[in-house]
C-alpha cells in the first residue's frame, strides 16, 4: 500500500546559501501519529509548510506526494493544489484565529475548501456546515463560547477553536506546527489529548512538531528528528533513549532526567530515566 505521505529529496535554500532543508526523504503511513522534533532552526516548520503546499522547494529532484497526488515537484505546486490542501489540515502555533469574528464563524472557515468562496464572503453557510461546526466545538469543549468574539479567548481556548476548525475541514492528514509552544501546561495537555483523540478515534494521520520532548514520547508512536535541515533520526518512540536526544540537541544542552516516573504510552510504559528530558529543548 502506498504511504499516505511521500517526501523525496526535499531541499529548500534561503538567500542562495542557507539550506533550511537538505535532501530530506521520508514516508508516513496512514493512521500514524508522528512527532517532529529538533533544535530551533532545524527545519521543522519549513518541512510542514512544504507538505501543506504553502511554500515551494528548490528546483531539482524534490517531490512531495500526499494521498497519492503530487503536492509539488521540482519547486512547482500541483495544478490541483487547492483541492489537495482541502485534505491537509494545518494547525498553527499562533492559532490564526480572526479575533473580530465569533468562535462559530472562525470554525466555519474550515468548510470553505469544499464550498464556493461567496458563501464565506456573505456568511451564507449550509445548515449542515453549521451543525458540523457546532459539533466540532462541542468535541473540543468550546460549545458554550460559539457566539463569543474569538478575541476574548485565552491562548489555549483559541487553539481548541483552531482544532475545531480543522475538524470541520475533514482532512485526511493533520499537520500541527508547535501547537502547544505558547500554552500553559494544562492547556498543552488538553491540546495534545485532542490531537491524540483525532488520531485514534477518527483514524487521521497526525504530524506534530514539538519542542517538548516529554509530550512527543507520551503521545506519539514515531519520532522524526531534524538537525540543521537534515533527517537525523526516524524511529519508534519505544526504541528511543537519552543518547538519541543528546545527539539531536547537542551535549551542550542541559537536560534533567526524571529517574522514577514513567509515561503510559499505548500499551507500554516508557521509563523517563531512559528517554526524556524535563527541559523544554
| Per-residue model confidence as pLDDT tens for the chain (281 residues) | 689 999 999 999 998 888 999 999 999 999 999 999 999 999 999 999 999 999 999 998 899 999 999 999 999 999 999 889 999 999 998 889 999 999 999 999 998 876 666 566 566 778 889 999 999 999 999 999 999 999 999 999 999 999 999 999 999 999 999 999 989 999 999 999 999 999 999 999 999 999 989 999 999 999 999 999 999 999 999 988 888 888 998 854 445 344 324 445 553 455 444 444 434 44
Instruction: Give the span between the Cα atoms of 82 and 171, in whole angstroms.
Output: 13
Residue 166 lies in a domain: no
Q: Yes or no: say if 30 and 237 are a contact pair by the CB < 8 Å rule.
A: no
Q: How many CB atoms lie within 10 A of CB 244?
A: 16
Q: Yes or no: say if 165 and 109 are a contact pair by the CB < 8 Å rule.
A: yes
Q: How many CB atoms lie within 10 A of CB 68?
A: 9
CA 213 to chain centre: 15
* Among the listed residues 121, 101, 216, the one whose alpha carbon sits nearest the alpha carbon of residue 161: 101
Please state the φ and ψ torsions of residue 96, each to the nearest 5 degrees: 55, 45
**DSSP E strands: which ranges in 131-191?**
173-177
Domain count, the chain: 1
Q: What cell was used for 101?
A: 469574528
Instruction: Give the span between the Cα atoms of 131 and 69, in whole angstroms.
Output: 30
Instruction: Give the span between the Cα atoms of 38 and 108, in whole angstroms.
Output: 34
Q: What cell was used for 132?
A: 458540523
Residue 141 lies in a domain: no
Tell me the residue range of the domain where 254 lies: 5-94+172-265
Q: What cell was used for 207?
A: 504530524
Q: What cell was used for 94?
A: 499562533
Contacts of 168-171 spanning 24+ positions with Cβ under 8 A? 168/107, 168/108, 168/110, 168/111, 168/129, 168/132, 168/133, 168/136, 169/86, 169/89, 169/110, 169/111, 169/113, 170/114, 171/86, 171/87, 171/88, 171/89, 171/204
Residue 73 lies in a domain: yes
| CATH code of the domain covering residue 226 | 3.40.50.300
pLDDT at 142: 97
pLDDT at 266: 52
pLDDT at 275: 46
pLDDT at 253: 45
Residue 131 lies in a domain: no
Residue 275 lies in a domain: no
* Among the listed residues 241, 239, 235, 244, the one whose alpha carbon sits nearest the alpha carbon of residue 274: 241
Residue 118 lies in a domain: no
Residue 181 lies in a domain: yes
Q: What is the pTM of this model?
A: 0.88
Residue 201 lies in a domain: yes
Cα angle 140, 143, 147 (rounded to 5 degrees) comes to 130
Q: What cell was used for 277?
A: 528530558
Amino acid at each position: 500500500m502506498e504511504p499516505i505521505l511521500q517526501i523525496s529529496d526535499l531541499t529548500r535554500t534561503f538567500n542562495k546559501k542557507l539550506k533550511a532543508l537538505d535532501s530530506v526523504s521520508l514516508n508516513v503511513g496512514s493512521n500514524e501519529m508522528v512527532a517532529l522534533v529538533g533544535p530551533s532552526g532545524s527545519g521543522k516548520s519549513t518541512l510542514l509548510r512544504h507538505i501543506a503546499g504553502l511554500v515551494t522547494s528548490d528546483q531539482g529532484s524534490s517531490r512531495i506526494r500526499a494521498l497519492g497526488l503530487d503536492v509539488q515537484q521540482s519547486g512547482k505546486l500541483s495544478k490541483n493544489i487547492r483541492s489537495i490542501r482541502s485534505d491537509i489540515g494545518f494547525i498553527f502555533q499562533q492559532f490564526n484565529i480572526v479575533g473580530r469574528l465569533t468562535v462559530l464563524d472562525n470554525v466555519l472557515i474550515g468548510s470553505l475548501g469544499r464550498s464556493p468562496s461567496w458563501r464565506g464572503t456573505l456568511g451564507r453557510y449550509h445548515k449542515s456546515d453549521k451543525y458540523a461546526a457546532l459539533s466540532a466545538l462541542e468535541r473540543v469543549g468550546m460549545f458554550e463560547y460559539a457566539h463569543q468574539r474569538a478575541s476574548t479567548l485565552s491562548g489555549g481556548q483559541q487553539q481548541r477553536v483552531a482544532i475545531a476548525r480543522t475538524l470541520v475541514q475533514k482532512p485526511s492528514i493533520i499537520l500541527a506546527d508547535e501547537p502547544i509552544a505558547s500554552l500553559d501546561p494544562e492547556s498543552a495537555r488538553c491540546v495534545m489529548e485532542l490531537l491524540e483523540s483525532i488520531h485514534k478515534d477518527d483514524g487521521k494521520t497526525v504530524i506534530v512538531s514539538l519542542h517538548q520532548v516529554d509530550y512527543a514520547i507520551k503521545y506519539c508512536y514515531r519520532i522524526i528528528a531534524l538537525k540543521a535541515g537534515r533527517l537525523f533520526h526516524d524511529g519508534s518512540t519505544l526504541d528511543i533513549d537519552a543518547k538519541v536526544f543528546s545527539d539531536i540537541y547537542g551535549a551542550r544542552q542541559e537536560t534533567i532526567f526524571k529517574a522514577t516516573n514513567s509515561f503510559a504510552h499505548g500499551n507500554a510504559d516508557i521509563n523517563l530515566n531512559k528517554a526524556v528530558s524535563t527541559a523544554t529543548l
